[in-house]
């Protein structure tokens, strides 16, 4: 194996000059000419205001959307060449409010992808138990409950467990902790940070919260009006000289008149 293919194999997700426009109308670009390589095992946080195109970028990875121009590759294959169903079963997905199925029990929610993949029931049950423990929920207490009987934080934990069920190498997370109260949010961020470093997954994490980005990201990509305007590890990110970076770092400063 030569050096070039070795480097290729280390890249889990690659955006090559990707533009996405609604209905392919060129003047309605949501994402403009984005190029980005994400290495295996790293956590890239896509930071940006609402409407900056960060969720769109995420949906281009699991083929919920197809690029208008350019190419998105996952594990070296263009998403346009992949069967969307197979592609998505190999990519975990966590969204705000978890998107759990209200008519399924917690165990059925977590075991969804293994069920679709036709694992035998013993293996699914064991996997569900393992995952509930991993995200800090007691399987005996929670397996048989329905999502409506859980708190927001607990639902979000189930959402993470469901995404990890079939052990996908890639995890996409769209503001997963966005709807939680500040205390629960900080708790889940800390736990998830520890979990992420243990699992060694490739994670793409979307947020509008710079604190969350600094805490979780091995690199932070800043999106502004559909353009990727900055990309740097957290320690370098704060020193970048770009007006949008300043706008975000300004939100970090303690507000006047509030005691520390």
Spatial separation of the C-alpha atoms in residues 232 and 228, rounded to whole Å: 11
Give the binding range for other proteins (CB under 8 A) out of 10-18, 83-91, 123-131, 228-236: 83-91
Q: Does 88 bind other proteins (CB under 8 A)?
A: yes
In the set 36, 57, 87, 231, which binds other proteins (CB under 8 A)? 87
Q: Where are the alpha helices (DSSP H) in 28-83?
A: 54-61
Give the binding range for other proteins (CB under 8 A) out of 112-120, 192-200, 201-209, 218-226: 112-120
Give the tokens for residue 23: 């209905």
DSSP helix/strand/coil, 177: coil
**For residues 34 and 15, is the Cβ–Cβ distance under 8 A?**
yes
Which stretches does DSSP call E strand in 137-226?
Answer: 170-174, 202-207, 219-224
| 160, burial (CB in 10 Å: exposed 0-12, middle 13-18, buried 19+) | buried
Nearer to other proteins, 93 or 248 (CB): 93
Minimum distance between the CB of residue 254 and other proteins, rounded to whole angstroms?
A: 34
Nearer to other proteins, 177 or 237 (CB): 177
In the set 37, 40, 97, 208, which binds other proteins (CB under 8 A)? 97
Helical (H) or strand (E) element with 126: helix 121-134
Minimum distance between the CB of residue 148 and other proteins, rounded to whole angstroms?
A: 5
Minimum distance between the CB of residue 63 and other proteins, rounded to whole angstroms?
A: 10
Give the tokens for residue 152: 């927001």
∠ Cα 149 171 40 (to 5°): 155
Between the two ends of the chain, the Cα-to-Cα distance in Å is: 56
In the set 8, 11, 21, 64, which binds other proteins (CB under 8 A)? 64
In the set 45, 60, 113, 188, which binds other proteins (CB under 8 A)? 113
Q: Does 112 bind other proteins (CB under 8 A)?
A: yes
Nearer to other proteins, 110 or 196 (CB): 110
In the set 103, 118, 198, 239, which binds other proteins (CB under 8 A)? 103
Nearer to other proteins, 148 or 255 (CB): 148
DSSP helix/strand/coil, 16: strand
Q: Does 86 bind other proteins (CB under 8 A)?
A: yes
Which is nearest to 128 in space by CA: 147, 146, 107, 142? 107
Give the tokens for residue 144: 């048989």
Q: Does 162 bind other proteins (CB under 8 A)?
A: yes
Minimum distance between the CB of residue 205 and other proteins, rounded to whole angstroms?
A: 15
Q: Does 202 bind other proteins (CB under 8 A)?
A: no
Beta partners for 37? 14
> Which residues of this chain interact with other proteins, rule CB under 8 A?
62, 64, 84-89, 91, 93, 95-103, 112-113, 116, 146, 148, 162, 172
């Amino acid at each position: 194996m030569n050096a070039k293919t070795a480097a290729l194999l280390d890249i889990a997700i690659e955006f090559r000059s990707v533009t996405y426009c609604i209905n392919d109308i060129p003047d309605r670009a949501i994402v403009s000419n984005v190029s980005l390589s994400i290495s295996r095992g790293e956590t890239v946080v896509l930071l940006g205001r609402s409407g900056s195109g960060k969720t769109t970028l995420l949906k281009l990875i699991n083929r919920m959307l197809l690029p208008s121009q350019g190419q998105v590759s996952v594990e070296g294959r263009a998403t346009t060449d992949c069967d969307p169903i197979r592609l998505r079963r190999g990519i975990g997905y966590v969204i705000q409010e978890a998107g759990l199925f209200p008519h399924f029990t917690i165990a059925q929610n977590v075991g969804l992808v293994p069920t679709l993949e036709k694992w035998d029931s013993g293996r699914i049950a064991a996997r569900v138990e393992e995952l509930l423990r991993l995200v800090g929920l007691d399987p005996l207490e929670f397996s048989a409950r329905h999502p409506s009987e859980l708190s927001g934080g607990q639902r979000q934990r189930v959402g993470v467990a469901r995404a990890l069920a079939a052990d996908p190498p890639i995890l996409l997370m769209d503001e997963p902790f966005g709807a939680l109260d500040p205390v629960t949010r900080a708790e889940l961020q800390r736990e998830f940070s520890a979990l992420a470093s243990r699992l060694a997954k490739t994670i793409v994490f979307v947020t509008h919260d710079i604190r969350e980005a600094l805490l979780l990201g091995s690199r932070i990509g800043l999106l502004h009006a559909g353009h990727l305007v900055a990309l740097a590890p957290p320690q370098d990110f704060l020193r970048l000289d770009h007006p949008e970076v300043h706008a975000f770092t300004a939100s970090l400063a303690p507000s006047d008149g509030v005691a520390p």
